[in-house]
Structure 1
């Protein structure tokens, strides 16, 4: 009833605003009484012991005594195992943890559990509480069963109340107004539904056209893909046939290559044997029948090099190029084209034995001769070693002298560099500060100005000390004269000096202000007389309103220097509690003037 009253009140207010009847009626707001009292904070926390609960937390979750989880019967995870069971407990806990991790890894990343969700997986099974059975309550009826049959059909007499009648009539009218507003809203919702349905039908028609176009595209793409697949199968068949031909040719090529390698090995052995027989043959026969002696312009040294190269040429595995098939065929063709039919000097094997015996005798003679030369060679070798040792000692001594000289040169260079840095530091540091510092120069200027104004012109270019001594003597003379004068005249002269200094300071401040004004006026005139800058760039207009720029924070007040503070304190009416520094126009020009007349 309270919600109906609120809706009726809202409907009346909106109706009056809609009709234009704005009334300023101050009525007391109607606050309906709550039928159910809200719970107190203590009841929210501890519950109400006097109210019987209708159902538990786990009721209606399809959990019973069969699928519930009894935690008290399970081993506690907080109990530390015994000493003999520690290893087995760690192994089993690791296996349980790996099994749980594998189960979670099978799930998607958004379906996996974290630490909190893993604790709430079986919370209903762990917190299951069996609902108690409701027993039927026995009641006693004290009403006569024939009472309702006696009073049936009789009107219940009620006292007519005008206030209740007016209230019911008002509530009826309010309900009708609310119903009218509800009907208007229903009609508006139906119109919106019809418009939305029309938009949905249009979207469906467009979607159907898109689907038809996409299916047509898929059919064309499928036909093109099938044609490409058929062409690919044809090309694969051709490639397989070519591969079979290639395999047959590779087999024939391998057989021919093996035959060529066998022939090349036999040819190489025969050529080496032939060369050996040529080398042990007499020289007069070789000059007639040997190919290498028949070449024009061949000397003895070239013959020796040619013979060694021939053996290297026909030696097995002499180089990577000689092992290739093309290189072997090329070498065979060159030998066949350049060399003639071979002839042998030896006819019988015993002739070779004679040659070998002769070579053996020559080798023995060579060994005897080399043994005779062993002692002189050993003496020469020892002399060479001694000379090399002395040469190394001299080289070592010379190197030590050079290293010591290099160290001394480096030390002298470092010392010269450090002395130069120290001299530059003294010149640019303390020496410059004592001679050309701003304070020193200012003091010299002030002392010279005082000396020239009070004593005499500095035509003799006196030093600062001499001028200060002269000023000191003159100052003592003035003090002695002041001591002789009356006190009132001294005070009057002092006040006149201070007044003159203040007047000069005011003139200087006024002049500085005028200079600043003239400079600002010159800058303004220069900016006005300059031609206007016209940009040729296109101006970009924002499509949306620009965000308002935040206001800049106020700048903190500038910290005054000591000179500015003294100037404001002694020469102006400045009060640091009530006045602002900006009103007195303190700037750098005034600071310069203050420093000048200080």
Structure 2
């Protein structure tokens, strides 16, 4: 078979397995004597081997499942038997318990029924007591409210009585409302009669000025007439009130008119103030512009400073030192006065003498200038000589 070793086919040792012949003995009788086609295909043989192995595996799996299910059934059967046994024991014990305690149970149930009946009777008694209590409380509240109404009527009649009678009897009817009987939560508690008497004693003894209803009607008639008189007076006062209101309206009109005039004046004043403020701003700008340009040029320009220096120099040379920090104008006026004085003094001298002195002055100035030039030249020569001497003493390199 082409050198391929196939697994041997094991024969089943189970003799209980039935075949087709056992089921139908005439199965091969239909093909008896016919030639059987030979099958030499190796792939078909392999496929048959695979199918056989698969069938055997499936058969083993099914047998395992059958064994597992059988084992579970046996286990459940054992549990069922044990449970049935325990149930029988418990049932027997419970029946025995019922048989032993039946008399006690009957006695307890009878006692429970008696207690239930007693509770029902007490509940009915409690309801009846609550009904009676509510009835009594309602009656007491009705008495209390009636008493308070009567006290209010007494107060009304007392106030309707004349003032002299009120002052004579001096009854205090401004009493706060107090309950005559205070109901406690405990229905079996005893009512304190002393407290009830004490609360009733706070109310004054009833005293009335009126002996018959006609007197009260007479008082009401007088009050009606008095009210009518008050109405007439009120009408007269309303007339005066209307006149006063008209005058008040006219006065308000005048005041509003004056206020409008005052507001107009205030508005005009505000406009004038705003115009003056604008004018002030413009004048300030013009002033600072002039101060920055014209006055600054007149005060701190180079020519002005030179003139001030010249005037101050002439003042200090001719008059005196400027310790008082005089202005250029003051110093110029002083120099002018000094010049005028000098001119007056010079007018008294001979003109020829003045010319001679002037000539000598110019000659002296020329001599001084020449001497200054010579001194300057001599100073330069001395400087040159000093430099040469200094260089002669320096070491040569």
Q: Could you say which TM-score interval applies, normalised by the shorter chain?
A: 0.3 to 0.5
TM-score (ref. length: structure 2):
0.35
TM-score (ref. length: structure 1):
0.24
Please tell me whether Structure 1 or Structure 2 has the larger radius of gyration of its CA atoms. Answer: 2
Query: Which of 1 and 2 has higher RCO (CA within 8 Å, sep 6+)?
Result: 1
